[in-house]
A and B are shown apart, each in its own frame.
Chain A
Amino acid sequence: MMEENESVISIRDVSVSYGEKLVLNRVNLDIRRGEILVLLGGSGSGKTTLLKQVLGLAKPDSGTIVINGVEITSCSEDELDAVRRRIGVAFQAGALFNSLSVEENVALPLRELTCLADPIIDLIVWMKLKAVGLADAGKLYPPELSGGMRKRAAVARAIALDPEILVFDEPSAGLDPIVSAGLDELILFLKNALRMTILVVTHELESAFRIADRLAMLYEGALIAVDTREQFSRETHPRIRQFLDRQPDTISGEAAVEFIKSYLRKS
């Protein structure tokens, strides 16, 4: 039996920069087995970059990421693929293949990565679609789906191979509150029923507090807080307060003078 508190994904000192700009600055984060960790952060805070590192889609400049005991930052392509097969990803806009129907989209990883017979694949596809509430929509094509259905279909594809880890990129972006709440319940269901470890990247506070076991906040490439729900809402860091209280950025008089000075110096 696996230990409850053991970390499935551990990110150590990960730094990434694009050209001059430091996007991630020595990020350390552990995601424990069976928990839902919500990664919060404003636009441009480095959330998506961190997600790409975790999925092995990009390599960090320094630091290591260990998933299920495999260091994906230095392992071979084959080992990386083996790790990836145990991670399901639901991308922001679904990333469904438009030339394939919903069923075929869900069946794709099963057909390509397993040697199951077709009737079994059909059965699994039906089960997964049923689990996300899309049992009737299997024959439709992605452009015919609504935003919420597309995300559900993406979830069905993500869980097709029964992964241990599930990653959501902005699950509630662009959805109305009702559909978004439905998706939150689906995420909780997956955690409770299938015992998955779930990483959610979002900037939707309500949804984050509904589903999270722990919350982490990225600001300008650094993790400024990682805490449980209760602790997190009591955080005093000004950026977190600003985020939680939905305050706009204000520029102080002194900072404005500095900014203008630096601008004049440049030109």
Chain B
Amino acid sequence: MTILKRVGRSTISWTEDVGALSIQFLRVLHRVPRILPVVGRRRRWKATVHQMLFIGASALPMSGIMSLCTGFILALQSASELRRFGALEFVVDLVAVGFTRELGPLITAIAVSGRSASAIAAEIGTMVVTEEVDALRAMGLDPIEFTLAPKYLAALITVPCLTVLSTLCGIFAGYVFLAFSIDMTFRLYFQAVSEAILLRDIFLSLLKSLVFATIIVQIGCLEGLRVRGGPEAVGHSTTTAVVKSTFLVIMADLMATAGFYMMGWSAAG
């Protein structure tokens, strides 16, 4: 195959992905109001609670530990450099700002993508193979409303929560390091942290986490719905879902950060 052919083929396949993803995203968004409690259809919100426990609550230990470790690593690495300039107190700024703006949302997204994108793709893929999706449609029920929308709503609620918690974990790891190395008190550390981060940073971090949640769930669902043939196709779709969602999360993060930088939103104070 010539290079030109290969480039053309992958361009077409990526364009198709973007198109399918956008259509699916709009459809899911359209169905979300129906699954809300009170205003939605009766009992439909229960599925969302179930998904929240799965996507959110059970991802908590993993993303928390990942953030603690990363926070500690970040503090260690920066301390060894900053110490040479006698600027060890800037470790606080680095950890606090780094986690709030960048690492908190990103680490959470990677943890959720590894756990949930694959699980969602596997669940929906299995439903396609066992004709459950067809059965829903044949009953006149909408598979998007039944299976996709609760997952998306659950992710929209839990991923920002997880992001806040893993940011706190990361910042706490910075404190542990400084408490041991220069006997910094918690009060002083907390003060330094609250001076370093702005409300805008927190807001942008939550915004990012919503975008990441969208990417993870939509990719998981899309890959699941694309399953054709037998059970072996399900395995393939889970791998694709994790690879694509992790890649897209990092791309989206790059674009968002570059955008904020150019708009001057990343300048401190």
Interface residues, chain A, with chain B CB atoms under 8 Å away: 52, 55-57, 80-82, 84-85, 87, 89, 91-93, 95-97, 108-109, 111-113
Contact = CB atoms under 8 A, between A and B. Distances in A.
Interface residues of B, number: 12
A85 B137 CA distance: 10
- Please provide the 3 A-B residue pairs with the shortest distance between their CB atoms, ordered closest to farther: A95-B135, A81-B140, A95-B131
Interface string B122-140: 0000000011101101111
B225 to A, nearest CB: 13
Contacts of B134: 52, 55, 57, 91, 95
A113 B140 contact: yes
Given A57-B138, A80-B140, A93-B131, 14 more contacts: A55-B138, A56-B137, A57-B134, A82-B140, A84-B138, A84-B139, A85-B139, A89-B135, A95-B131, A95-B135, A108-B139, A109-B139, A111-B43, A112-B139
B141 interface: yes
Contacts of B130: 93, 95
Interface string B22-43: 0000000000000000000101
Contacts of B138: 55-57, 84, 87, 89
A195 to B, nearest CB: 21
A128 to B, nearest CB: 14
Contacts of B139: 84-85, 89, 108-109, 112-113
A39 B132 CA distance: 23
A82 B139 CA distance: 10
A5 to B, nearest CB: 27
A93 B137 CA distance: 16
A103 B139 CA distance: 16
Contacts of A97: 132
22 contacts: A52-B134, A55-B134, A55-B137, A57-B137, A81-B140, A84-B138, A84-B140, A85-B139, A85-B140, A89-B135, A89-B139, A91-B131, A92-B131, A93-B130, A95-B131, A95-B134, A97-B132, A109-B139, A109-B141, A112-B139, A113-B140, A113-B141
